[in-house]
Structure 1
Amino acid sequence: MKIDKNLIGGSTNMLILTLLSEEDSYGYQLIRELEERSDHTFQFKEGTLYPILHKLENSGYVASYKQTTPQGKSRKYYQITKKGLKQLEAEKEQWNIFSDSVNKVIGGGVYGMA
């Protein structure tokens, strides 16, 4: 089942910041990791991911740097900043409240089961 992009859009920053809190990554690596961990639910294209990374960078949540691979290719890596870690914690807290509340309404928990 394909997930509505509006549902994914509200959590994209949190997902990317989570991956970057674990390790510095380059764009394609993030795309692959998101897809793999989500059982192919999150399938970002480069044209979607890079504007998000640039927005996160402009907000001071991530920083970028270039690194040369052993094959001599230059890659742009992204790393989370201290400000980004604080933002990630705030977004996780909001997500937990939101998802708990949605589950209460739709019957995902012990609430509202008729």
Structure 2
Amino acid sequence: MKKGIIELIILKCLKNKDMYAYEINKIINKTIDTNESTVYVNLKKLVENKYLIMYQKNSLVEINRKYYQITSLGMQRLNSLLEEWNNFYLTVNQLLDNIL
């Protein structure tokens, strides 16, 4: 289950702004204990599936970083995953409410 959640969180992080992997990893690790490679593996898969694009940002001040940007296909995937998550959440809550 955590694997699918990481994909959802990454897409949600990128919905409003481009980010680099370490930045995304910091957000995820605030609440979910994952190792850094988990984020990189998911980012690679999301790029391969055309849900994200990766580009390098050159800077004189900072280290050159690889940034990720959500695509229109990625937005569709995000909406689909959010719908799945909401249905799952409602179903589990109904089940929990009916126990005892």
| Superposed counterparts of 1:1-114, under 5 Å | 7-35=1-29, 40-107=30-97, 112=98, 114=100
CA contact (8 A) 1:66 1:75 kept: yes
Identical aligned residues as a percent: 31
Report if the CA contact (8 A) 2:6-2:39 is conserved: no
The letter for the 1-side match of 2:5 is: S
> What is the aligned-residue RMSD (CA, Å)?
1.5
| Secondary structure class of the residue paired with 1:21 | coil
Higher Cα radius of gyration: 1
Amino acid aligned to 2:96? I
Q: TM-score, normalized by length of structure 1?
A: 0.80
Q: Where does structure 1 lack aligned partners over 5 or more consecutive residues? A: 1-6
Write the distance in 1 (CA, Å) between the matches of 2:31 and 2:62: 33
Gaps of 5+ in 2: none
- Read off the aligned partner of 1:26 and give its amino acid letter: Y
Q: Given the superposition, is the C-alpha separation of residues 113 and 83 from structure 1 closer, same or farther in structure 2, using an over 3 Å criterion?
A: same
TM-score, normalised relative to structure 2: 0.90
Paired residues in the alignment total 100
1:48 & 1:11 partners in 2: Cα distance? Answer: 11
Paired with 2:31 and 2:27, the residues of 1 have a C-alpha distance of 11
Matched letter for residue 22 of structure 2: Y
- Structure 1 runs of 4+ aligned residues shifted over 4 Å read none
TM superposition shift of 1:113: 6.5
In the alignment, residue 105 of structure 1 is paired with which amino acid?
L
